[in-house]
Amino acid sequence: MASWTFFENKWHEGNPPIMGPMDHAPWLGSTIFDGARAFEGVTPDLDLHCQRAVRSAKNFGLKTLKSGPELEEIIREGLAKFDNDAELYLRPMAWARDGFMSPDPETTAFCVSVYDAPLPEPVGFSIMCSSFRRPSNEYAPTEAKAACHYPNSARAMREAAAAGFDNAVMLDPIGHVAELATANVFYVKDGEAHTPVPNGCFLNGITRQRVIKLLEASGTKVHQRTLTWKEFEDADEIFSTGNYAKLSPVTRINQQDLQPGPVYAKARQLYWEFAHG
């Protein structure tokens, strides 16, 4: 995997050592990150991803060492090290080197990694409902895209794999659908899309927001509201949105097969047109 990381004002090839055992981040978890995409010569919503990285750092109690435009400029330097049509993951990160429990913002460090990561083929995937739930803001720093959230997602993914599924829907603390373990989720019924309303327990994804705007502008109704697992079981279509795979169809829920439907196909086409526009 070709990889370049900008750290301490220069580019390093491969996987450079950036943390030590005495740093706050690997010991007490003070790492935030964001992820954007480059593919087919485009970088959709890169500015928004960089701005969110800055917000995450602030919300997590870290010092913001770079502005959104400055992060974007660094990422574009990294893009120049690859072919124009390469499929890449673009990941700014920030973390604390010192502090006890609470990170010391004055010890904030950052890096930007740009590396090969082929877009998954949209062949479809299966889902179940996880027994693990998304935490609310009272239990976890959900206002930041923080690395500490992902072990909980990993539990849901391991549970799904053990049961023969690819991914899992996670509920919020009071039992309503929040999102998938790895992405935001939509279902379609009678030609109208439905997606959980952001309630502080999951990330209101940039790709999610973009797809909602594109569908609504095209005349498709999108409902952001409180949803139940039963509604997903009764859906005509289900699909995910997220930076890593962009849009992917769900082709099995529990033991029921689904086909990629027209609203998903429309959303994917609109997103690709937006990305290249």
Region for residue 271 given its phi and psi (left: phi exceeds 0; alpha: psi -120 to 50; beta: otherwise): alpha
Largest Cα span, the chain = 55
Domain boundaries, the chain: 3-116, 125-276
How many angstroms separate the CA atoms of 4 and 74, rounded? Answer: 11
82 φ/ψ angles, rounded to the nearest 5 degrees: -125, 165
Query: Averaged over 90-97, what is the pLDDT?
Result: 98
Beta carbons within 10 angstroms of residue 202's beta carbon: 22
Domain 125-276 maps to which CATH number in 3.40.50.300, 3.40.50.880, 3.20.10.10, 3.20.20.120? 3.20.10.10
Predicted confidence band of residue 273 (pLDDT cuts 50, 70, 90): very high
Enumerate long-range contacts of 194-197, CB under 8 Å, 24 or more apart.
194/222, 194/223, 194/225, 194/227, 194/231, 195/222, 195/223, 195/224, 195/227, 196/172, 196/224, 196/225, 196/226, 196/227, 197/224, 197/225, 197/226
Which sign, positive or negative, has the C-alpha torsion 102, 60, 151, 37? negative
Q: Strands, DSSP E only, in 157-245?
A: 167-171, 177-180, 184-189, 192-196, 222-225, 237-242
3-state secondary structure of 119: coil
218 φ/ψ angles, rounded to the nearest 5 degrees: -90, 0
pTM of the model: 0.96
Query: Averaged over 114-135, what is the pLDDT?
Result: 97
Q: What is the pLDDT of residues 30-85, one digit of tens each?
A: 999 999 999 999 999 999 999 999 999 999 999 999 999 999 999 999 999 999 99
Q: What is the pLDDT of residue 1?
A: 83
- Which of 120, 43, 33 is closest to 82 using CA atoms? 43
Query: CB neighbours of 121 closer than 8 A, spacing ≥ 6?
Result: none
Q: Domain 3-116 carries which CATH code?
A: 3.30.470.10
Q: What is the pLDDT of residues 209-258, one digit of tens each?
A: 999 999 999 999 999 999 999 999 999 999 999 999 999 999 999 999 99
- Which of 221, 218, 275 is closest to 247 using CA atoms? 275
